[in-house]
Structure 1
Amino acid sequence: MKNNNTPLRIDIVSDVVCPWCVVGYRQLAAALKQSNTDYEIHWHPFELNPKMPKEGQNMREHIMEKYGSSKAESDASRARITEAGNEVGFQFHFNDDTRMHNTFNAHQLLHWAEKQGHRHELKQALFAAHFTDNRDISDNAVLADIAAEVGLDRSEARAVLADQRFAREIRAEEQHWQQQGIQSVPAMIFNERHLVSGAQGVDNYLNILGQLAHMPD
């Protein structure tokens, strides 16, 4: 990398119910490790389904309705995602009861966790809670439990969710990224200038990192 002491800034816009967001992050993390890149990651909120009701929806039904896909196409997509997860050490456990959840409160909790220095840990825990353990991450009690599992105060987490103190900030940040043209996730912005969309694969991320290393400041 460049001979300076400035770490590579990586802003990642994502949702915790987006499978390619966790796969893409894991691919990027592997590339960063292989390239010995000095970096700092900043997570930002995006809601795939901002109008999702509180009770959520069966994931297969949701995908078939949203994209007009058949059950066979849904099964094939799940198989691709599961394989991609296995390649980067993440387990997807899809089943007929897997649900899609509203993530607005999860994003509020992540915003609060940032102030405690635990946003990254909570983000990874939420990915695992949703995709690996099939926990209801729209349930405030479940969210507070997950916060406690990464070292945050459970009672304070419940209070944050109960009074919705960060609702305005999350809406504003979501709107900011939409105004920047972000319509799908994951979206990764390197050094606040170079946008890369989707899960690109470890090799492609290595190439991107190599190109960034030789770009002038």
Structure 2
Amino acid sequence: MKITYWSDFACPYCYIGETRLRNVIKDMPEFKDEEVEFEMKAFQLDPYAGVHATGDTQTRFAKKYGISMEEAGDTIEHISQLGRDEGIDFKYATTLFTNTMDAHRLTKFAMEKGDKELTDKLIERLYAAYFTDNKELADKDLLLGIAVDCGFDADEVKAVLDSDKYHDEVVLDEREAARYGIHAVPCFIIGDYALQGAQPAEYMKSALLKAMEKESSKVDESQGMTCGPDGCRIG
């Protein structure tokens, strides 16, 4: 089975949702002998974000959603707890929000290499760099180090990061999302079934079983936790 999903490395629900989905698959006996391939497609929450963080997450939340600093802190902690519930060392309060284009370009480079295991490892490391290590994902030296640690050639990675290679591929992913009516992430396409948001585990399990039975559905944005260009759903 192939699962295609749109995601951004700065989206908390994307990291939580993908991790939860993988955990659900791991625990389902129906998938014991089923090979599942994940393919990530790019979706930048803010294509115009700068290369350096300009403020802390709590202040950004309070301003964006028109809530108090206390309410913002509580919301951020709630999201972090959702991540910890999936086994992630989730530190959303101290994330440093920056542009993610280069992280997505690097992922496209990894995909072109054709090693799915290395690509999955890179994607996990990029999420962790942001949500656990609280690094700026626009830092090219950081991206180079992560890629090399994952097993990619340093000279090849540096050549990609020092160019605009794979930029068009990232933009094409985003245009494809728009054509499908996807305006918030994560969005998982499981066979013929579309799963919008970081849904509860039981909902994910149901979607997986329906996909195995080759049932289809339209994208459902009525449930699940998502993030989009205007922010994350917090209530």
TM-score (norm 2): 0.82
Amino acid corresponding to residue 20 of structure 1 in structure 2: Y
Aligned residues of 1:113 and 1:119 also touching (Cα < 8 A)? yes
Shift of 1:215: 3.4
Equivalent residue runs for 1:1-217 within 5 Å: 8-35=1-28, 36-37=30-31, 38=34, 39-58=36-55, 59-95=57-93, 97-116=94-113, 117=115, 118-191=118-191, 193-215=192-214
Amino acid corresponding to residue 19 of structure 1 in structure 2: P
Q: Please give the alpha-carbon distance, in whole angstroms, between the structure 2 residues aligned to 1:149 and 1:77.
A: 34
Cα distance change on mapping 1:90 and 1:129 into 2, 3 Å: same
Aligned residues of 1:28 and 1:201 also touching (Cα < 8 A)? no
Structure 1 counterpart SS, 2:162: helix
Q: Please give the alpha-carbon distance, in whole angstroms, between the structure 2 residues aligned to 1:9 and 1:94.
A: 30
Identity %: 28
Q: Please give the alpha-carbon distance, in whole angstroms, between the structure 1 residues aligned to 2:194 and 2:89.
A: 27
Task: Give CA deviations for 1:30-79 in whole Å, capped at 9, x if unaligned.
Answer: 11112242221111000011111222332233333333232122212222
Shift of 1:120: 1.4
Amino acid corresponding to residue 205 of structure 1 in structure 2: M
Shift of 1:210: 2.1
- Equivalent residue pairs, number: 208
Matching residue of 1:3: none
Shift of 1:165: 1.3
Structure 1 counterpart SS, 2:70: helix
Shift of 1:109: 0.4
Shift of 1:23: 0.7
Q: Please give the alpha-carbon distance, in whole angstroms, between the structure 1 residues aligned to 2:73 and 2:201.
A: 25
Structure 1 counterpart SS, 2:16: helix
Q: Please give the alpha-carbon distance, in whole angstroms, between the structure 2 residues aligned to 1:88 and 1:129.
A: 17
Task: Give CA deviations for 1:132-181 in whole Å, capped at 9, x if unaligned.
Answer: 00112111111101111111122221210111111122112211112211
What are the ranges of 5 or more consecutive residues in structure 1 without an aligned counterpart? Answer: 1-7
Matching residue of 2:220: none
Shift of 1:12: 1.0
Amino acid corresponding to residue 74 of structure 2 in structure 1: A
Shift of 1:216: 5.8
Shift of 1:122: 0.9
What are the ranges of 5 or more consecutive residues in structure 2 without an aligned counterpart? Answer: 217-235
Structure 2 counterpart SS, 1:99: coil
Q: Please give the alpha-carbon distance, in whole angstroms, between the structure 2 residues aligned to 1:201 and 1:183.
A: 20
Structure 1 counterpart SS, 2:126: helix
Cα distance change on mapping 1:15 and 1:216 into 2, 3 Å: closer
Q: Please give the alpha-carbon distance, in whole angstroms, between the structure 2 residues aligned to 1:211 and 1:156.
A: 41
Aligned residues of 1:108 and 1:170 also touching (Cα < 8 A)? yes
Alignment RMSD (CA, Å): 1.7
